[in-house]
């Protein structure tokens, strides 16, 4: 197991390097001068040059790349051009809110998908299976930017049950979490159904039933346990999609997280802040995939061979 963990960690290093490099290069390909945008059209040329020098943007791009990597290795992601604060502090302040939202959305998706997928598999080709398939298709058809405003109109404006924005009240996380978790729940429901149908046709299920075990124990203690192994992999991969979905959802619900911070930084051409936000999201995605591999290998030791 230790050897497997070390091997997976060695695979992460080039991925981390690639994430840092791609984020750095892409943000510098965006047209426009961030210093000009920060100081305004009427700024003097001397002031623009002095500010560009202060932020290290007057040196060649390869030198900026080396300087940025040096800062990353020391935990320094630079200073925000607009806010004039350390990017590390801004990211650390917004990251817990994004993580809270993504984890809550993941829990919503799991709590909805597993019972629905099991029910759909057990009641295959019956009315409830067809109804759940229709609901899953509906969930896949609604993107975040469409579902979010609909939920706001219904639950926040019409019924006045939940807050429309912010994160001060614990209820404020419900609407954005449901917005993000709905599409993932639809994907996982179909995945659980397919995996359960495969397991319910195995010989060990027929043996368990022949022993006189109750149907609930056969389904939940035997079939579901093995059916969840491929689902866990999908959950780990889709968590990255949840992090990406926060960029739109946080803007809709004015959620004070990395997604909203990223959108504002892109609008202001804040190079350092965009790099820091995207780097944090990318590293979280890599870390989650690594943890998913460990959980999957613990549940299925054959892949460690």
Lowest mean pLDDT among 40-44, 62-66, 79-83, 248-252: 40-44
* Residue 4 pLDDT greater than 70, yes or no: no
Cβ(68)–Cβ(275) below 8 Å:
yes
Residue-level pLDDT at 299:
67
Residue-level pLDDT at 175:
92
* Residue 248 pLDDT greater than 90, yes or no: no
Residue-level pLDDT at 178:
92
pLDDT digit string, tens, across residues 14-48: 887 887 788 788 877 777 777 777 777 777 778 77
**pLDDT band, residue 100 (cuts 50/70/90):** very high
pLDDT digit string, tens, across residues 194-241: 999 998 888 888 888 888 888 888 888 888 888 888 888 888 878 877
Residue-level pLDDT at 118:
92
**pLDDT band, residue 302 (cuts 50/70/90):** low
* Residue 303 pLDDT greater than 60, yes or no: no
**DSSP, residue by residue, 58-98:** SS-HHHHHHHHHHHHHTT---B-TTT-SBHHHHHHHHHHHH
* Residue 155 pLDDT greater than 70, yes or no: yes
* Residue 304 pLDDT greater than 60, yes or no: no
Domains and CATH numbers, the chain: 2-73 (no CATH), 87-304 (1.10.3720.10)
How is residue 124 annotated by DSSP? T
Q: Which is higher by pLDDT, 106 or 38?
A: 106
Q: Shortest CA distance to 50 belongs to which of 68, 67, 66, 38?
A: 38
Long-range CB pairs of 34-39 (<8 Å, 24+ gap) are 34/81, 34/268, 34/269, 34/270, 34/271, 35/81, 37/268, 37/269, 38/81, 38/82, 38/268, 38/269
Cβ(179)–Cβ(148) below 8 Å:
yes
* Residue 105 pLDDT greater than 90, yes or no: yes
């Amino acid at each position: 197991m230790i050897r497997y963990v070390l091997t997976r960690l060695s695979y992460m290093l080039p991925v981390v390097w690639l994430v840092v490099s791609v984020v750095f290069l892409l943000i510098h390909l965006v047209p426009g001068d961030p210093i000009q945008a920060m100081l305004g059209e009427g700024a003097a040329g001397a002031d623009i040059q002095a500010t560009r020098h202060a932020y290290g943007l007057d040196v060649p791009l390869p030198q900026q790349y080396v300087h940025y990597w040096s800062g990353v290795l020391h935990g320094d992601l630079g200073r925000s051009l607009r806010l004039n604060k350390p990017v590390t502090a801004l990211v650390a302040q917004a990251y817990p809110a994004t993580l809270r939202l993504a984890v809550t959305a993941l829990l919503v998706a799991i709590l909805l998908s597993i019972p629905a997928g099991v029910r759909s598999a057990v009641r295959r080709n019956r009315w409830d299976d067809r109804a759940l398939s229709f609901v899953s298709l509906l969930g896949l058809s609604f993107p975040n930017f469409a579902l979010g405003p609909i939920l706001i109109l219904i639950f926040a404006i019409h019924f006045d049950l939940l807050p429309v924005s912010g994160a001060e009240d614990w209820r404020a996380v419900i609407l954005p979490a449901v917005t993000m978790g709905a599409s993932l729940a639809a994907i996982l429901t179909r995945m659980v159904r397919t995996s359960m149908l495969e397991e319910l046709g195995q010989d060990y299920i027929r043996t368990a039933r022949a022993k006189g075990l109750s149907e609930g124990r056969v389904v939940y203690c035997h079939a579901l346990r093995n059916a969840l192994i491929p689902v866990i992999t999908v959950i780990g991969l889709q968590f990255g999609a949840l992090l990406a979905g926060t960029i739109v959802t946080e803007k809709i619900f004015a959620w004070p997280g990395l997604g909203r911070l990223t959108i504002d930084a892109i609008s202001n051409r804040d190079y350092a802040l965009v790099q820091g936000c995207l780097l944090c999201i990318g590293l979280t995605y890599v870390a989650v995939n690594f943890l998913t591999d460990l959980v999957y290998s613990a549940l299925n030791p054959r892949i460690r061979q």
